[in-house]
Structure formats: C-alpha cells, structure tokens
C-alpha cells in the first residue's frame, strides 16, 4: 500500500507552524471569550457538587451543562474566565525511594466563538510523568485537548482537533489516578521512520489524537441522553509547543496525513447509565471491538468494559471492572480490576478527597496497584484548581 508521502512529509516537517498558529488562536480566544472549569463555580456561585459526583466525574446536571451550555440549563453567561490546574505527584515502587515531582501546570479554557461554534483547550505548560523504570519524562508544552465543535443542528455536531476518540466513557472523568487498561491499551500502529511516529500511529479508545468526529443523537432530542452515534477519523500526531529541550523530542509537534483508520461508536445514555459498543478498523488487519457500560446505584458508580484487539503480532482481549463509592461530593474511594487471558491481572485501590473553597479547591488522590509478577506501586497526587 502506497502512503501519501508528500502530505505526510509536509505535516511532519512543518507542524510547529501549524500548531503554533492554533495555539496563538486559542490564546486570543482565551483572552476574549474564555470560560472554563472550575470558573463556572465562581461565576455562578455554586459548589463543585452542582456539576460533579466528585471532581472530575460529572453528575447528570454536569452532562447537561456540558452538552447544552449555560443557557441550555437556565443560566446566564457571566463573562470570560480561565482556569489553572496545578499538581504534584509522588510515587513508590517496592523498596525504591519515594519520588516526588511537580507534574502538571495546565491552562484550561472553553467557550463560544460564534453561534453554534465552540472551542475547548487544555495546554500543559508543565507536563512530567514517571515511567515504569522510575525515571521522569518531561513533555512540557503539549496540548491535552485543542478542538472546535460546530453544532450543525440540535442533534448533530462536528468536532475537529485533538481530543479523545471515545465519548461514551470519557477517561478524563475517572476518579483513579491511573487509566483503565481497556481504554488506554493501544492497537499498535504500522511502522514509521521514527519510533515516536510509530507510537502515535497506535490507537486506543481513550487516547488523544488529532481527529474529525461527526456525532448525532439518534433519539432526535438535544442533550446528552438518548441513543448516540459517532464516527471518528483519527490521525497520527500530537499538537504541542515544546517548552523544554527534552520536550522537543518527547512532545514534538507531529501530524501525519494518513488516517489511523475509522472508529465508530454506538451507545445509549440515560443520566449516568450507559451501554454501548464500538469498533476501530485500521490498516493491515489492525482492529479493536469493545463493549462498555456505566451504572449508578445510590452512592455506587461502576464502569465495565471488554475489548478484543486484532493485530499482526496476535489477537488479545482485555477487560476492566471499576466500582467507586462516593458517599459525599468531597470523598470518593474505589477498586478497579484490569486483566485479560494474555495479560497480567492488576488490582488498583484508590481514594480521593476534596477540600477548600468552592471555585478554588484542593484535591488529594491516593492509589495503590498490585500486578501479577510485579512489585506493588503507590501513587499520591496533590492538586489545586483555580
């Protein structure tokens, strides 16, 4: 199969100009019309619990607010605002020394550009992560999300930019520190000239990449409830403006012109309860088929998923079951199991505590993970939102 090498080459050689232009545009939007979380809490004088079961997990009103905007839930827009998320991470593996490092300084903004046209941006000024060997990787300057959404009609929307592929279950709303493997494990990409681009060619439902999404509510009513269908065309790449010398390599701006494949998702949502299936069809026999569900019962919140991966190196399957207990909007605790026939089983226990004033809260999250054949790991993250 012949690649579109000219377009792919141009996108890889000159992504800095493209992404920098997008960033400058986003920065101007932030200055002019930005509205972001948790500034909604300050602007509308409401507690975090108004929109969240426990931050960042949304409750039913939070989903309505995200889908319909302030006016859609009877609120008046009160002007521009921008949010900042700061966090420090500490981790310990077996007998290793505890490693603590400031790992996140993130600007978040969302708002309207024009009628029916909105944007969302998350930019990591500081982005560090601990690797499995105990080292720290610096990826400062990368975008988590940067995309535009055009509301074509009350029930059809088109998104363009970098974001997560799956919409039934947004991994960003998880209560644990680590991500569920059924959402984060990738179908490997086809070989490229560099290891970074090969990695970016991989696909996972919870992974971020530049993409085009067309989504429709088949039930015919606006809002998050009903039967949803989305079709996604993801591209290998990452939007970033690297801010350190290491990030020039680890978070270099990339965009390849050849799509990874096609991802389709069909699910039904009613409040916090969902059931659905998805399928990714990639190159050279690479594919993924998944079935997911979420449920709420009193103070219990559950997510379960199963995925089957087909790839040249061999097929595999994996599953996740996550149950969280949230007795109060400021407190949450849960257990998650990840595993599969060919994968070591992992059990994660986590807890989270919010405190401080509404609109400028602090959060402490703790997680312990035990994996077959490996030493247990312990993680602690302390965050401040403004």
- pLDDT, residue 65, reads 85
Cα–Cα distance between 298 and 323 in angstroms, integer? 12
- pLDDT, residue 373, reads 81
For residues 252-272, average pLDDT? 96
Which spans in the chain are helix H?
5-13, 15-33, 39-43, 60-72, 181-184, 195-200, 247-250
- pLDDT, residue 130, reads 80
| Residues 291, 276 contacting (CB under 8 angstroms) | yes
What are the φ and ψ backbone dihedral angles of 343, each rounded to 5 degrees? Answer: -125, 145
Q: DSSP states of 119-141 as a string?
A: EEEEEEEEEEEE-TTS-EEE-TT
- pLDDT, residue 235, reads 98
- pLDDT, residue 89, reads 87
Domains of the chain, earliest start first: 5-385 (2.40.160.10)
Q: Which of 25-39, 146-160, 361-375 has the lowest mean pLDDT?
A: 25-39
Cα–Cα distance between 360 and 358 in angstroms, integer? 6
The residue behind tokens 């290891």 is 195
For residues 123-130, average pLDDT? 92
* Confidence label for 98 from pLDDT (cuts 50, 70 and 90): low
Helices 15-33/5-13 angle, 10° precision:
60
Average pLDDT along the chain: 86
- pLDDT, residue 286, reads 95
What are the φ and ψ backbone dihedral angles of 201, each rounded to 5 degrees? Answer: -80, -10
Share of the chain above pLDDT 70, in %: 86
Q: How many CB atoms lie within 10 A of CB 73?
A: 15
Indicate if the pLDDT at residue 7 is higher than 50: no
Q: What global pTM score does this model have?
A: 0.87
- pLDDT, residue 131, reads 77
Cα–Cα distance between 44 and 69 in angstroms, integer? 13
For residues 217-244, average pLDDT? 96
Longest dimension (CA), the chain: 57
Cα–Cα distance between 371 and 349 in angstroms, integer? 12
- pLDDT, residue 97, reads 65
- pLDDT, residue 293, reads 98
Indicate if the pLDDT at residue 346 is higher than 60: yes
For residues 23-28, average pLDDT? 41
- pLDDT, residue 8, reads 35
Half-sphere exposure of 161 (CA within 13 A, CB side): 21
* Confidence label for 84 from pLDDT (cuts 50, 70 and 90): confident
For residues 103-123, average pLDDT? 88
* Confidence label for 90 from pLDDT (cuts 50, 70 and 90): confident
For residues 295-309, average pLDDT? 97
* Confidence label for 9 from pLDDT (cuts 50, 70 and 90): very low
Q: DSSP states of 172-213 as a string?
A: GG-SSSSPPHHHHPPBPPPP-SSHHHHHHT-B-TT-EEEEEE
- pLDDT, residue 96, reads 63
Residue 195 makes CB contacts below 8 A (sequence gap 6+) with none
Peptide bond into 384 cis (omega under 30): no
| Residues 258, 3 contacting (CB under 8 angstroms) | yes
* Confidence label for 45 from pLDDT (cuts 50, 70 and 90): confident
Six token digits for residue 181: 């493997």
């Amino acid at each position: 199969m012949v690649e579109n090498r000219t377009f792919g080459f141009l996108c890889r050689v000159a992504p800095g100009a493209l992404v920098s232009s997008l960033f400058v545009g986003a920065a101007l939007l932030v200055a002019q019309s930005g509205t972001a979380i948790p500034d909604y809490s300050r602007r509308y004088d409401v507690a975090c619990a108004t929109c969240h079961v426990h931050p960042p997990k949304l409750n039913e009103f939070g989903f309505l607010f995200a889908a319909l905007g302030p006016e859609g839930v009877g609120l008046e827009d009160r002007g521009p605002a921008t949010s900042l998320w700061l966090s420090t991470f500490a981790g310990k593996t077996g007998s290793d020394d505890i490693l603590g490092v400031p790992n996140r300084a993130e600007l978040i903004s969302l708002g309207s550009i024009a009628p029916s046209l909105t944007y969302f941006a998350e930019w990591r000024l500081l982005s560090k992560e601990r690797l499995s060997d105990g080292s720290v990787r610096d990826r400062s300057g990368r975008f988590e999300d940067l995309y535009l959404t055009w509301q074509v009609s009350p029930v059809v929307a088109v998104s363009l930019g970098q974001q997560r592929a799956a919409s039934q279950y947004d991994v960003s709303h998880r209560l644990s520190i680590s991500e569920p493997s059924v959402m984060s494990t990738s179908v490997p990409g086809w070989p490229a000239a560099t290891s970074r681009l090969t990695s970016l060619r991989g696909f996972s439902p919870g992974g971020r990449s530049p993409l085009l999404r067309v989504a429709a509510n088949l039930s015919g009513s606006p809002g998050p409830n009903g039967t949803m269908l989305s079709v996604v065309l993801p591209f290998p790449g990452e939007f970033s403006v690297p801010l350190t010398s290491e990030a020039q390599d680890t978070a270099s701006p990339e965009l390849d012109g050849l799509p990874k494949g096609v991802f389709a998702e069909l699910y039904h949502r009613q409040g916090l309860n969902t059931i659905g299936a998805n399928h990714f069809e990639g190159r050279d026999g690479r594919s993924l088929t998944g079935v997911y569900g979420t449920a709420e019962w009193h103070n219990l919140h559950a997510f379960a998923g199963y995925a089957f991966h087909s790839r040249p190196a061999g097929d595999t399957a994996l599953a996740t079951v996550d149950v969280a207990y949230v007795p109060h909007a400021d407190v949450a605790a849960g257990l998650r199991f990840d595993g599969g026939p060919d994968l070591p089983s992992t059990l994660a226990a986590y807890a989270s505590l919010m405190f401080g004033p509404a609109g400028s809260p602090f959060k402490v999250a703790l997680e312990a993970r035990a994996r077959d054949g490996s030493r247990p790991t312990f993680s602690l993250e302390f965050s401040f939102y403004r």
